[in-house]
Amino acid sequence: MFIATNRLFVPAERAKEFEDHFRTNMRTFLPGVPGLLRSTLLKPTKDDQPYVSVNEFESEEHFRAWVASDSFREAHKRNRGIARHVTGNAVETFQHAEDMVLPQQRTEA
């Protein structure tokens, strides 16, 4: 698995519009991307934290093919609308190292 993240700094007063635009882009351009397993937008819990976009691919080759695709170019051309909300960003990539999925655990109050 290959994971690409993008940390996106958005002022609190622009958060709602940013989320709406980003969500629309995700739903429009990501379905059907070969090798894309999951795409997630994480919302910050504090004003000084960034949003984090997480895209999980089957392989780095699938990620690179997506970045070179017409779909990627079209989505990022539309990102001009998102860009006015973002004051900074940082793209990072990772290889999968470990997963642990736990069964749902019940806690009694």
Condensed to tens digits (0 to 9), the pLDDT of residues 6-57 reads 999 898 888 898 899 889 989 999 999 999 999 999 999 998 899 999 999 9
Within 10 angstroms of residue 72's Cβ, the number of other Cβ atoms is: 15
Q: What is the DSSP letter of 44?
A: P
Write the pLDDT tens digit of every residue in 69-105. Answer: 988 888 777 666 565 667 677 888 899 888 888 888 7
Among 90, 62, 81, residue whose Cα is nearest residue 1? 62
Q: Would you say the C-alpha torsion 103, 95, 89, 84 has a positive or negative sign?
A: negative
Starting from the edge strand earliest in sequence, which strands make up the sheet with 51-57, in order?
36-42, 51-57, 2-9, 88-95
